[in-house]
Amino acid sequence: MKLALLISLSALFQSARGGVPNGLAPKVMIISMFRDEAEVWYNIPEFNVLAQNISVPGLSPLFPNVHCTKDSSICQITVGEAEINAASSIAALIYSGRFTLTSTYFMIAGIAGVNPKVATIGSVTFARYAVQVGLQFEIDAREIPAHFSTGYFPQGSNAPGEFPGTLYGTEVFEVNDALRHLAAQFARRARLKDNTESKAVRTQYAKNPAFAAAAAAPTVALCDTATSDTFWSGNLLGEAFEGTTKVFTNGSAVYCTTQQEDNGTLTALMRGALAKRMDFSRIIIMRSASDFDRPPPAESALANLLGPAPGFESSVLNLHLAGVKVVEAIVTGWSATFERGIKATNYVGDIFGSLGGTPDFGPGSIFK
Ligand SMILES: *[C@@H]1O[C@H](CO)[C@@H](O)[C@H](O)[C@H]1NC(C)=O
Ligand SMILES: *[C@@H]1O[C@H](CO)[C@@H](O)[C@H](O)[C@H]1NC(C)=O
Ligand SMILES: *[C@@H]1O[C@H](CO)[C@@H](O)[C@H](O)[C@H]1NC(C)=O
C-alpha cells in the first residue's frame, strides 16, 4: 500500500518534472488520411471511437477532432492528405498535452497505389521501410539526357541510380519488423472484401507475366511503401521509383505501395520519439491497395490515372476488416504482451540514426 503510494507519487512528480503532460493514454492510435478512410472506423460493431471527440489545436481544419472510445483505449485521428498535412497534424497531436502516447501503438491505416509486380488491388500490406521517392532532383522527361532512364535522380548525385550526395534525413524510415510480422499475422484472420470489377481489371494484368502478383487474388502482404506529394502513374515512373527505393535503402526495400503521407507522419513521430513523447518501435504502416501505379498492357499511363478505380471501395473496407484484427489483438493482449512492447530486432529509425543505432541503409549514423 505504502509502496504503491510512493510509486504513484513519484510518477506524479516525474511527470511534473519532465513537463510531459498527463492525458488520455490510448493503447492504439489509428491514423487515417481522409474522410473515406476515417469513416470505416465509425459506427462499427467492434468499438465506438465517436464516444469522445477531443478538439486538438493544430489539426487540419477539415478534421479538428481526435476520436476515442469511452475508455480511451482506442483513438483515431484524420491527418489530412500529403506530407505537409500529415507531419503537421501528427506534431500537433504529440505536443497537444491532451495525450500520453509513450506506450501507444500508432497504426497508419490508409489506401495506396500498388506495384503490379508485387501485389494486387484489394490487398492489405504492411511495410518495414517508407521511402520518400519524391525528394529528388527532377528534369522534365522531354529534356533528359539520352543516357538517363528517368528525369528523377537523387539530390547531390549526377544521374539516376547513384546514391544521394545530399540527405535531408526523411528519405527513409524503418519500423519494427517483429511488430510488422505480428500485425500481418493478426490481419490474416480477416476475410478480405473483393468485387467483380476488380477481378476484371486483374485479368488485364495477367497478359504480362511480370504482373503475376497483380492477376492473383488479394492477400495480406509484407512489402514497403513509397511516399511522394506527386500522385504518379505509368511504367516509366513506376520503374524509376523502384530504382529510387533500391538506391535509398541499399537494396533492402521492396517498392510495393505508393502514397502521399507516410514519410511526413513518420518524421513527426520520429521527432516525437526524440522528445520522449512516443516510442518509435510501436509503429505499424498498413496500406491497402486501391489502384495500380501503372497501367495493364495496352493501356496508357493517363487512362490508368484518370480511369475508374474499382479497387477503391474494397481497399477502404479492408482497412477496417484487417486493421480491426490488429487493434483487437493489441487491446486484448495488452497486459500479456503489448504493454511492455514488441522488441525490435532490426534497426528502427531514420537515415541519420537520430534515435541511436546504426541504420542498415544509407551512409550510417551521422551522430557517431
Ligand atoms: C462525435 O462526433 C460525431 C460526428 O463526427 C458525432 O456523431 C458523435 O455523436 C460525437 N460524439 C459525442 C460524444 O459528442
Ligand atoms: C520515408 O519513410 C520511409 C519509411 O519510414 C523511409 O524508409 C524513407 O527513407 C523515407 N523517405 C524519405 C525520402 O524520407
Ligand atoms: C549504401 O550505399 C552507399 C552508396 O553505395 C554506401 O556509401 C553506404 O555505405 C551503403 N550503406 C550500407 C549500410 O551498406
Q: Residue 304: which CATH number?
A: 3.40.50.1580
Q: Is residue 362 part of a domain?
A: no
Using a 6 Å cutoff on CB, does residue 250 contact ligand 3?
yes
* Closest atom of ligand 1 relative to the 51 alpha carbon: 13
Instruction: Name the residue with the closest Cα to ligand 2, atom 10.
Output: 172
Quick check: 96 and 143 in contact, CB under 8 A? no
Q: Is residue 360 part of a domain?
A: no
Please give the distance, rounded to the nearest whole angstrom, from the Cα atom of residue 53 to the centre of ligand 1: 6
Q: Does the structure show a pLDDT above 60 at 324? A: yes
Q: Is residue 18 part of a domain?
A: no
pLDDT, position 22: 66
Please give the distance, rounded to the nearest whole angstrom, from the Cα atom of residue 154 to the centre of ligand 3: 14
pLDDT band at 363 (very low <50, low <70, confident <90, very high): confident
Please give the distance, rounded to the nearest whole angstrom, from the Cα atom of residue 255 to the centre of ligand 3: 18
- Helix-helix angle 177-187:312-332, to 10 degrees: 110
Q: Is residue 174 part of a domain?
A: yes
Please give the distance, rounded to the nearest whole angstrom, from the Cα atom of residue 232 to the centre of ligand 3: 28
Q: Is residue 368 part of a domain?
A: no
pLDDT band at 5 (very low <50, low <70, confident <90, very high): very low
Please give the distance, rounded to the nearest whole angstrom, from the Cα atom of residue 52 to the centre of ligand 1: 7
Instruction: Name the residue with the closest Cα to ligand 2, atom 13.
Output: 171
pLDDT band at 226 (very low <50, low <70, confident <90, very high): confident
Q: What DSSP character marks residue 295? A: P
Q: What is the rounded CA–CA span in Å between residue 127 and residue 148? A: 29
What residues flank ligand 1, with Cβ below 6 Å? 50-51, 53
Using a 6 Å cutoff on CB, does residue 365 contact ligand 3?
no
Instruction: Supply the range of the domain harboring residue 249.
Output: 23-350
Pocket test for ligand 1, best of 24, 47, 50 (most atoms within 8 A of CB): 50
pLDDT tens per residue across span 106-127: 999 999 999 999 999 999 999 9
Q: Is residue 8 part of a domain?
A: no
Q: What DSSP character marks residue 101? A: B
Q: What is the rounded CA–CA span in Å between residue 351 and residue 87? A: 17
Using a 6 Å cutoff on CB, does residue 361 contact ligand 2?
no
Report percent pLDDT > 90 for the chain.
71
pLDDT tens per residue across span 83-97: 889 999 999 999 999
pLDDT tens per residue across span 254-301: 999 987 776 778 889 999 999 999 999 999 999 999 999 999 999 999
DSSP 43-69: S-SS--GGGEEEE-TTS-TTS-EEEE-
Provide the number of structural domains found in the chain. Answer: 1
Q: Is residue 339 part of a domain?
A: yes
Q: Is residue 94 part of a domain?
A: yes
Give kind and range of the element (H or E) at residue 179: helix 177-187
Please give the distance, rounded to the nearest whole angstrom, from the Cα atom of residue 139 to the centre of ligand 3: 25
